[in-house]
């Protein structure tokens, strides 16, 4: 029997490999490339937390990948799979995605090794506050130092605890709210932050379909509307991505997978009803009108036009890459495709839209929240009424000149003043559109660049290298 080919699934090794694949096309000094590639600092924190009469010991990390821009930015992950290598790799990915979408942050990532499902809300609060205190003591968190955000296993709830803990250590700090993003709106958060990563994926995919010649070359002869989509992962990112693609872009979501199985319907799944079913039963399994498959990875190989892995890293590997039927793989998760699997997909003519671009919606809207906290002003507050008055004047003028009443839906659009949610969505869509066009331009111009991921790394590395030069670190 032929010997089975094995893969190195270490995410840090994979990110390093992807970096080098792009770096070989650049004429930058090796020392500068190494500075960009390597993680600057990794903080390890070990701490006990007392629950009743028992003490539980936890291990956490904070990786500071790059200080070419400040503050640093990255999520806090609560998972029993967290390791130093994973946190270091994710910090690097954050550096590159911030550069790609022109967000002025260096990359970072935090994490604590634990299973959130094993602890009560009160226990998680104590863990979060203790971890935050450890970061504060090391001066590793602050509005101008390092600004965390939610990630796997955390949410706006944990971010509120982080903010309150930081605020307690720095009484009277006028910019304290900017120490963390992804907070509840009532605590200085921003509208639509919860859906930001999923919406960014939808906007990025929409931008791909704005180029019919590219879509036709993939063997697809239709617009985004009607596209058959399979999504692995129905957490915050997967759910919002599926909902937005279905409700706003008329896509057909044929399959959704979670940790305990996959549901499939060639006619399409109603995402709102699927979420209600999951919320009631605790599982997506046995959703009425759909087929339930036991394998949570079945969504990866189902017949579809676009596959969106929105769960964990290393999901598309040598074991299943040849069974992928999608023409586009849109990476909503971090590192879902291994390099060997991506080589197979490239050979098959499948377009892989890389994670360092496609899931940058979260950090983009976090940037908006950070700016809002520093400005101490809600976006849209000062111009909402002015926009509305101008809209009413325009509608009145047009109706008078045309001698007819404008349709109600058109009136609402013209009269509506832009509020914070509108501005966040507008800014996110424009950011994703600009970033995609930069990547596509490099991808099309460099004939030797065969993967969009390499083009995305080229865009990022060039921007970071320029930043270091302007700092005077490199001639």
Q: Dihedral of the CA atoms 201, 205, 207, 212 (nearest 10)?
A: 180
Q: Tokens 């070419």 map to which residue?
A: 68
The secondary element (H helix, E strand) that includes residue 305 is none
Query: Residue 426, CB half-sphere, CA atoms under 13 Å: how many?
Result: 8
Which three-class secondary structure state does DSSP give residue 86?
helix
- Phi-psi region at 278: left, alpha or beta (left = phi > 0; alpha = psi -120 to 50): alpha
Alpha-carbon span 187 to 203, nearest angstrom: 27
The secondary element (H helix, E strand) that includes residue 32 is helix 30-37
Alpha-carbon span 134 to 292, nearest angstrom: 45
Query: Residue 141, CB half-sphere, CA atoms under 13 Å: how many?
Result: 33
Q: Confirm whether 109 is a catalytic residue.
A: yes
The catalytically annotated residue of 73, 109, 183, 206 is 109
Strands of 83-220 (E only): list them. Answer: 106-113, 146-150
In this structure, the number of other CB atoms found within 10 A of the CB of residue 378 comes to 16
Alpha-carbon span 70 to 38, nearest angstrom: 17
Sheet holding 54-64, edge to edge: 41-51, 54-64, 106-113, 72-79, 146-150
**Pair type for strands 351-353 and 328-330:** parallel
Active site residues: 109
């Amino acid at each position: 029997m032929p010997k089975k080919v094995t893969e190195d699934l270490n995410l840090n090794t994979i990110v390093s490999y992807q970096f080098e694949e792009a770096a070989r096309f650049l004429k930058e000094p090796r020392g500068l490339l190494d500075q960009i590639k390597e993680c600057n600092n990794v903080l390890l924190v070990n701490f006990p937390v007392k629950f009743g009469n028992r003490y539980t010991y936890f291990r956490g990390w904070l990786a500071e990948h790059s200080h070419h821009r400040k503050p640093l930015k990255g999520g806090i992950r609560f998972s029993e799979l967290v390791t130093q290598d994973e946190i270091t790799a994710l910090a690097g990915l954050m550096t590159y995605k911030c550069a790609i979408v022109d967000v002025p942050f260096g990359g970072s990532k935090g994490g604590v090794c634990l299973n959130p499902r094993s602890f009560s809300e009160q226990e998680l609060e104590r863990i979060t506050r203790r971890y935050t205190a450890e970061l504060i003591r090391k001066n590793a968190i602050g509005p101008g130092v390092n600004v965390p955000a939610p990630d796997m296993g955390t949410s706006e709830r944990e971010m509120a605890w982080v903010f309150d803990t930081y605020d307690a250590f720095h009484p009277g700090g006028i910019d304290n709210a900017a120490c963390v993003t992804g907070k509840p709106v009532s605590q200085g958060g921003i509208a639509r932050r919860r859906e930001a990563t999923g919406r960014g994926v939808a906007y990025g995919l929409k931008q791909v379909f704005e180029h019919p010649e590219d879509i036709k070359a993939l063997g697809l002869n239709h617009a985004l509307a009607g596209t058959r989509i399979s999504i692995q992962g129905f957490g915050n990112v997967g759910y919002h991505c599926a909902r937005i693609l279905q409700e706003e872009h008329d896509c057909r979501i044929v399959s959704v997978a979670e940790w305990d199985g996959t549901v499939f319907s060639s006619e399409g799944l109603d995402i709102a009803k699927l979420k209600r079913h999951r919320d009631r039963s605790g599982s997506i399994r046995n959703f009425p009108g759909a087929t339930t498959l036991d394998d949570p990875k079945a969504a990866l190989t189902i017949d579809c036009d676009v596959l969106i892995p929105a769960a964990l890293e290393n999901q598309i590997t040598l074991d299943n890459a040849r069974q992928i039927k999608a023409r586009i793989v849109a990476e909503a998760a971090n590192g879902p495709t291994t390099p060997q699997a991506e080589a197979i997909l490239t050979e098959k003519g499948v377009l892989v839209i890389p994670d360092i671009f496609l899931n940058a919606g979260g950090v983009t809207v976090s940037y908006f929240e950070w700016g809002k906290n520093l400005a101490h002003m809600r976006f849209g507050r000062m111009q909402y009424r002015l926009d509305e008055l101008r809209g009413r004047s325009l509608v009145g003028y047009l109706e008078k000149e045309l001698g007819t009443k404008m349709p109600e839906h058109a009136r609402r659009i013209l009269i509506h003043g832009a509020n914070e949610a509108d501005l966040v969505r507008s800014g996110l869509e424009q950011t994703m559109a600009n970033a995609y066009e930069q990547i596509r331009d490099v991808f099309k111009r460099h004939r030797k660049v065969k993967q969009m991921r390499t083009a995305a790394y080229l865009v990022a590395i060039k921007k970071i290298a320029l930043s270091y030069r302007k700092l005077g670190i490199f001639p």
